[in-house]
A and B are shown apart, each in its own frame.
Chain A
Amino acid sequence: MANIISDETIDYVGILSKLELSDQEKEQAKKDMGRMLDYIDKLNGLDTSQVEPMSHVFPVHNVFREDVVTNGDVREDILENAPEQKDGQFQVPKTVE
């Protein structure tokens, strides 16, 4: 295959993706991604030099509204879904020493 994914690349992708991969998973991921990129390289057969990238099919614009609260106070309901909460807030591991 044409695309060989290096250990450095897969480690970097792991950081960007916030994923922790075992050595076995890394090897599989290198293979899968290489194969997929080989397939995606098919796009190189298409001349797109005169084409602008199209992110949306219709013209989209920001939708603005007045900054007023329209929903009720659902803090308790939202916190119900949190894996850990404390004093009405999301609890996370200590981030600053």
Chain B
Amino acid sequence: MDILDLTAIQLGEKIKKKELTALEATEAALRQISSNESTYHCYVTVDEEKALRRAGQVQEEIEAGRATGPLAGVPVAVKDNICTKGMRTTCSSRILGDFVPTYTASAAEALEGAGAIILGKTNMDEFAMGSTTETSYYGVTKNPWNTEHVPGGSSGGSCAAVAAREAFCALGSDTGGSIRQPSSFCGVTGLKPTYGTVSRYGLIAYGSSLDQIGPVAKDVADCAALLEVLTVYDPKDSTSVRREETDFTSALTGDVKGMRIGIPRDHMGEGLDPQIRASVEQAAKALEEQGAVVEEFDLSLVEYAIPAYYVIASAEASSNLSRFDGVKYGYRTEEYEGLHNMYKKTRSEGFGEEVKRRIMLGSFVLSSGYYDAYYLKALRTKALIKEAFDRAFEKYDVILGPTAPSTAPKLGESLKDPLKMYLGDIYTVSVNLAGLPAMSVPYGIDEQNLPIGVQFIGGSFQEKAVIRAGYALEQTREWHMPGSKKGGR
């Protein structure tokens, strides 16, 4: 079997058993990167030398019995909005083109602490604003299933890297679906944890009340193992939650007998590709056959999630992105007259269109005279959406539905109509507003040979229910990655 076909946990086991070394795994990943990057462009930065040096060190740690976790020696990719000390971190923006962080984000530090080897930083929509990875200043990433299509976004580089076997797993971030939607488009598994589970310290902020870092991997077991490593209480993030029972891999039982699963009718209606609807129905049937109790219900308020999300996310973005001013780091315009002109020119030249659009919308909805009508209205809507989910989780252990209304669109189609692109987040954004955990699991392929993802949503802190259902479903699936020599399972 090709090393590259292994999941992260399988690779970790082989390294532990001395069948492979961390260096061999890293070399294999780097070879795959160098032969495929000109086609897919998953990464903004790859640091070969650093990765190889680190692989040697990790191998020594393993041999000395100091690195014993399941991810020791596994080469990983990290989204380029997660700070890595000494490794350029751009947020796929011109304004951070030469920014080299002086510290490592807590999530990346946790990953390294578990013996993972960071290969490089993955491409994304600029400042995570977008659904296609086409707003990156450093060029588009292509979907490894079909290079005429987008990988989704904003964590498109992370998801494409895992699908193209240019990393064994990756970190993404999810503000409105940015882990789950590209995971569904690239045929990989991506999990957004409950808000507060993974530290945001060192994650370059977009919408702080919505942002969560989470794992992108080849399967559910890898996601669970990564989540165990990433779940650390962090005093450096004031929204970090002290979690109990973080043994997420214990939910990999395959047993869903008696599990109550709800399918929101309002996630299965108008606007959903019939092929994706069929995949969700097949998934429901497969779980039912294993003893789960599946029924449809009305979640309600679905049409209000996107407008509320764009008000809140843009408002927070307008505030968060005010730090980019050409003084402390990043790009500064060449010619200017005085301080204010320098700020304005720097930001106008440094930010792309989509980022400017959201900063302006955010500034507007926060401005005096509009704050109540837009911002507070959106926060009230968010409270109602949270209540609707709370009611649903009184009846169900987990909610099942589609991750996105369509499979990956062609390159160049989405940015023509931003509002239409925003509507693609319809099944994912409400989860961020309510702070819930959710996972996209590949299930089915459409007639264009593009992967379909189904989404499991859990109640607050109920990652285990999501993992349990996702893992059971995965066992019923035939699957392999594009370019993989043998079936993945």
Contacts and interface: CB of A to CB of B under 8 A. Distances in A.
Interface of A: 9-10, 12-14, 16-21, 29, 32-33, 35-37, 39-44, 46, 48, 51-58, 60-63, 65, 71, 74, 77-78, 80-84, 90, 92-95
Given A18-B322, A20-B347, A52-B380, 17 more contacts: A14-B360, A19-B360, A20-B341, A21-B348, A33-B364, A40-B374, A54-B380, A55-B209, A55-B379, A58-B435, A60-B239, A63-B235, A78-B102, A81-B329, A82-B328, A83-B332, A92-B342
Contact of A94 (B338, B377, B384): B338
Contacts, number: 156
Contacts of B196: 58
Contact of B380 (A17, A32, A48): A48
Interface of A is mostly: loop
B303 A48 contact: no
A20 B343 CA distance: 9
A-B pairs, 8 with minimum CB distance: A53-B379, A83-B332, A57-B435, A48-B380, A54-B383, A81-B329, A16-B363, A20-B344
Given A17-B359, A18-B343, A92-B339, A58 B241 contact: yes
A18 B380 contact: no
A95 B338 contact: yes
A13 B357 contact: no
Interface string B318-339: 1000100111111110001011
A13 to B, nearest CB: 5
A93 B339 contact: yes
B227 to A, nearest CB: 18
A10 B367 CA distance: 12
B418 to A, nearest CB: 7
B418 A39 contact: no
B310 interface: yes
Given A21-B348, A46-B381, A36 B310 contact: yes
A56 B209 CA distance: 7
19 contacts: A13-B360, A17-B360, A18-B347, A20-B341, A32-B418, A33-B364, A37-B364, A37-B374, A40-B307, A43-B377, A43-B381, A48-B380, A58-B239, A58-B241, A62-B238, A65-B235, A83-B326, A83-B329, A94-B339
- Most B CB contacts (10 A, CB to CB) among A29, A35, A44, A57 go to A57
B232 to A, nearest CB: 15
Given A40-B310, A54-B386, A92-B339, A16 B367 contact: yes
Contacts of A62: 238
B481 interface: no
A14 to B, nearest CB: 8
A63 B326 contact: no
B20 interface: no
B330 A83 contact: yes
B201 to A, nearest CB: 11
B356 interface: yes
A78 B100 CA distance: 9
B3 interface: no
The interface centre, meaning the residue of B311, B326, B377 with most chain A CB atoms within 10 A of its CB, is: B377
Given A65-B235, A81-B330, A82-B329, A36 B361 contact: yes
A80 B100 CA distance: 8
Central interface residue in A18, A33, A56, by most chain B CB within 10 Å: A18
Interface in B225-247: 235, 238-239, 241
